[in-house]
Structure 1
């Protein structure tokens, strides 16, 4: 038994890397101890530096510092500040946000496919054969062979930055409060880097958020000031940044964000951005939710509504729901699909984002927009008394797009009680999706179709779109 690495803060070990796991790391073992290793590839032999290694911890965490036996899918990291190997060589740590940047694009897709399958088996209770019947692997959203597909860069339309103690633009190291200065963000769309934010003085600012729509319309920079700063000093900090950005070739709007209530104070321009899909335009205020990848809104809309349309669940006059609806990305095409004789219930918890939805869909009379908790709204009486008072809402179909934590048992229970014929479930977290699949299974529902998209290249994140149906309507059978 070796000496416990917890006795030396910079402890180094040599390990052979095991399978990829959900969360952006691989699993390795040393003297019986599980170590979650970032910046590795399954099958490699690597030297690691332990980053979390308390003697009584169930597992440790580590970063790769040197590769002794690489895998064929290893490539040079595209971003020096995020490269663990180059960071280790200079005695530093990498910034987070590009933890798969050392893996070839095909290699990333293969690892993400493995993660989706593992979560469905372990948490969703599906057999390998059942998964094979509905899932063909994670898909790239860019055309095969194109520079965009091969590079996987320039896709983020929304980026959040931290600020160093010296007022420079930065990003956090993984699981750390340390902020490291940066001078580029290769994953961001060109409009973000064109702002050259790393040239500015952000003294007094805690957080910088940028929204740069893929349609090329004006960007928005949101500034959160440091806690404890006087109102006068905070105002000066925001004004200084706003004036500096006014000199850019295409100046963005600038606003101050109140993180406590989501309210914004406009310093220049406007407090919202204009987002578009093939058929609709959306106003998204402040830090309101919108899909990050430049192609994600259209890809996810096509997949989710494609499932429902192919199954005949969106006929004219149908009653449908869009849950966790945001600014109306799915609500708008749902309204088109069911026509003026149908009805669409759009539920969003954020007051500001719900207000955006009202503006975006004010002309769609078949849409009812409700702000509140999904499980509470689902149990409320219908707005129009088409049946006895107090009766639960009934839907022909539902689009469910919950936050990263998933829908959860209470929402699944309330949703099943509304008796839809099908649910298109959009998820950004395979573990949360796997748990919810099991909740649906316990309620007598089955997974009928599943697609997954690599909408977060060079990171461990993956987006899935599933079609869930009552057991009697078919779908894969649980069990091993």
Structure 2
């Protein structure tokens, strides 16, 4: 990954603690690619990268001042390693190096277990649900490497390139990113070709489109003659196969915020009714008839209340929610529950190995 999340400008609350070191036992994994630990006499919370739950490590603080509620740090020395710890395959992975990957130091099975725990914890905390979660491997990578079909580097001049540190503008020179795919993306899914604009959105893992289409169709079980609403539809990945499933007597409508993507969706999906615009705004005035099925594939922030309430107003028998952020998913699941729609099933996919990201497909239906 070429860019890491940048830290917000924070008001100083006393003396900086950056550079201080503490020995501690690492606690549970947290959403965001780190684990929770406590250090010092006050048992201050530290979000620790490059660690695993249960390990005894030396943490070096990378962000924080005396008055902050929590600090951030890196595990710079591992005194008691966990069973799932491995030597990172990438020479640029580790404290103070490239910030693109969170879990290079963890076995693939261990990574998936950590991601499953994060999804469980978010649903438990934000939706008050206890859900069994298994993160599934997806064909298309090689031992978690070589899957990212779109990659951006920071040009350094003279043909050199680099990647940024975690939460920093500082660039680390790299020769090659190991999660980068040697091939570009394929826009063929189940024998259908999709036209995608240069720079337009398409899943970066080569196995992702097939895995997500299969999961959505399995969840919705579309039937001939039914009506389906595809929200945040992109270039029509789900619409294309919903059209096939509902047949000539059915109907599929799509809403997408990006106008060029909508034009492509209409070409990719003959017979699709598609509208460009903000999903919540469009639903406030259009497509107000009941729909049997809804696909929700929102951006990382989630669908949020206004869209969820518009969805349940259409009274679908099933909603397939495709989520790239488990916290946003859990918050929206809680809103669905307020309106009588409950979580009936959940699948999670490891579409971003070596990172903390995980993709989920949730099935919601009336209680």
**In structure 2, how many angstroms separate the alpha carbons of the residues matched to 1:393 and 1:291?**
31
C-alpha distance after superposition, 1:282-318 (max 9, x if no partner): 1111221111111000000000111111xxxx22121
* Corresponding residue for residue 254 of structure 2: 346
C-alpha distance after superposition, 1:2-23 (max 9, x if no partner): xx99556422221110000000
Q: Structure 2: give runs of 5+ residues left out of the alignment.
A: 1-12
Match of 1:34 among 39, 45, 54: 45
Q: Does 1:380 align with 2:288?
A: no
Q: Secondary structure at the match of 2:78?
A: strand
Higher Rg: 1
Match of 1:429 among 325, 340, 344: 325
C-alpha distance after superposition, 1:376-434 (max 9, x if no partner): 2222244xxxxxxxxx2321001111111111011001111111111011101111101
* Corresponding residue for residue 220 of structure 1: none
Match of 2:205 among 293, 317, 320: 293
Q: Secondary structure at the match of 2:316?
A: coil
* Corresponding residue for residue 84 of structure 2: 73
**In structure 1, how many angstroms separate the alpha carbons of the residues matched to 2:182 and 2:15?**
43
Kept in 2, the 8 Å contact 1:5–1:11? The answer is no
* Corresponding residue for residue 227 of structure 2: 319
Q: Which moved more, 1:158-167 or 1:455-464?
A: 158-167
* Corresponding residue for residue 25 of structure 2: 16
C-alpha distance after superposition, 1:241-281 (max 9, x if no partner): xxxxxxxxxxxxxxxxxxxxxxxxxxxxxxxxxx1111311
Match of 1:152 among 144, 168, 171: 144
Match of 2:71 among 60, 65, 77: 60
Distance 1:180 1:165, change over 3 A: farther
Q: Secondary structure at the match of 2:355?
A: coil
* Corresponding residue for residue 118 of structure 1: 121
* Corresponding residue for residue 411 of structure 1: 307
Kept in 1, the 8 Å contact 2:223–2:246? The answer is yes
Q: CA deviation at 1:350?
A: 1.1
Alignment of 1:162-173 (within 5 A): 162-164=154-156, 168-173=160-165
**In structure 2, how many angstroms separate the alpha carbons of the residues matched to 1:71 and 1:467?**
35
Match of 1:283 among 179, 195, 201: 195
Alignment of 1:176-187 (within 5 A): 176-187=168-179
* Corresponding residue for residue 274 of structure 2: 369
Q: Does 1:138 align with 2:135?
A: yes
**In structure 1, how many angstroms separate the alpha carbons of the residues matched to 2:189 and 2:316?**
27
Larger helix proportion, structure 1 or 2?
1
**In structure 1, how many angstroms separate the alpha carbons of the residues matched to 2:280 and 2:289?**
12
Normalising by structure 2, what TM-score?
0.92
**In structure 2, how many angstroms separate the alpha carbons of the residues matched to 1:158 and 1:94?**
21
Normalising by structure 1, what TM-score?
0.71
Distance 1:64 1:376, change over 3 A: same
Q: Structure 1: give runs of 5+ residues left out of the alignment.
A: 85-92, 192-211, 216-274, 383-391, 472-480
Q: Secondary structure at the match of 1:171?
A: strand
C-alpha distance after superposition, 1:340-363 (max 9, x if no partner): 2211111110122222212222xx
Q: Does 1:103 align with 2:111?
A: no
Q: CA deviation at 1:166?
A: 7.1
* Corresponding residue for residue 8 of structure 2: none
Kept in 2, the 8 Å contact 1:164–1:180? The answer is no
**In structure 1, how many angstroms separate the alpha carbons of the residues matched to 2:294 and 2:200?**
22
Alignment of 1:243-258 (within 5 A): none
**In structure 2, how many angstroms separate the alpha carbons of the residues matched to 1:38 and 1:306?**
36
Match of 2:341 among 427, 439, 445: 445
Kept in 1, the 8 Å contact 2:59–2:73? The answer is yes
**In structure 2, how many angstroms separate the alpha carbons of the residues matched to 1:301 and 1:83?**
35
Q: Secondary structure at the match of 2:329?
A: helix
Q: Secondary structure at the match of 2:162?
A: strand
Distance 1:381 1:54, change over 3 A: same
Kept in 2, the 8 Å contact 1:163–1:171? The answer is no
C-alpha distance after superposition, 1:308-338 (max 9, x if no partner): 11xxxx2212110110001111010011111
Kept in 2, the 8 Å contact 1:163–1:179? The answer is no
**In structure 1, how many angstroms separate the alpha carbons of the residues matched to 2:120 and 2:331?**
13
Q: Which moved more, 1:297-306 or 1:152-161?
A: 152-161
How many pairs were matched up? Answer: 353
Distance 1:46 1:296, change over 3 A: same
